[in-house]
Amino acid sequence: ELKVEQNPLFLSMQEGKNYTIYCNYSTTSDRLYWYRQDPGKSLESLFVLLSNGAVKQEGRLMASLDTKARLSTLHITAAVHDLSATYFCAVNYGGATNKLIFGTGTLLAVQP
Amino acid sequence: GAVVSQHPSWVICKSGTSVKIECRSLDFQATTMFWYRQFPKQSLMLMATSNEGSKATYEQGVEKDKFLINHASLTLSTLTVTSAHPEDSSFYICSASAWIYGYTFGSGTRLTVV
């Protein structure tokens, strides 16, 4: 059974600071996703990482993937209040169904 | 881009009644559709996977007689919560999968059972 864990579960940080969210998964997968969720809303796609060593950046967010370590990171640079949300990683669980299994989530609160 | 429409956005129903939630892929044909449930401050839990014209595959611990899934076409899947009870109150999100688009999520349905 695939397990996806995120660390930390809650992150309070000041504007302008940097921080990293970690996503560990337990079995081999060929792709990893990062999503953002605002309160009461559905998911907004941030990144899709398809191969070992993949790195993608959009604004103040940068995601990377190490398939050998089964680890993905989401790095936040110079945080701003607008980044406050819950962030989920999700791993494609292969086979015929291609299920997407979500991590535990990280609630990010950026304080002014 | 790919768009998935989910209706209703929110619904309040009485205990013991049934509620149907629709999930439509508007501009693409979805190979597979997925249904998730999310309790407050928790992650998304996969409930079931459905393919057009075949029976849904439910995750362990999900009651298939309570959560009926119908996937009548490549663009429409429905989730019916039968004999709803307050503990079924939750945020339900559908996702449609297609090779070129990956996973596209609906806007979610907030179900409150009173």
pLDDT one-digit tens code per residue, B24-34: 999 898 889 99
Strand, helix or coil at B59? coil
Partners of A97 on chain B (C-beta within 8 Å) are 32, 49, 57
pLDDT category of residue B93 using cuts at 50, 70 and 90: very high
| SS3 assignment for A58-102 | ECCEEEEEECCCCEEEEEECCCCHHHCEEEEEEEEECCCCCEEEE
Amino acid at A14: Q
pLDDT one-digit tens code per residue, B26-66: 989 888 999 999 999 999 999 999 988 788 999 999 999 99
A54 lies within 8 A of chain B by CB:
no
Task: Judge: B46–A100 Cβ closer than 8 Å, yes or no.
Answer: yes
pLDDT of residue A71: 96
CA dihedral A97, B34, B36, A12 (to 10 degrees): 80
* Tokens read off for B30: 């979805």
The bridge status of strand B109-113 relative to strand B90-98 is antiparallel
pLDDT of residue A95: 61
Q: Is the pLDDT of residue A9 over 70?
A: yes
A85 phi and psi, to 5 degrees?
A: 180, 180
Q: Is the pLDDT of residue A98 over 90?
A: no
Partners of A21 on chain B (C-beta within 8 Å) are none
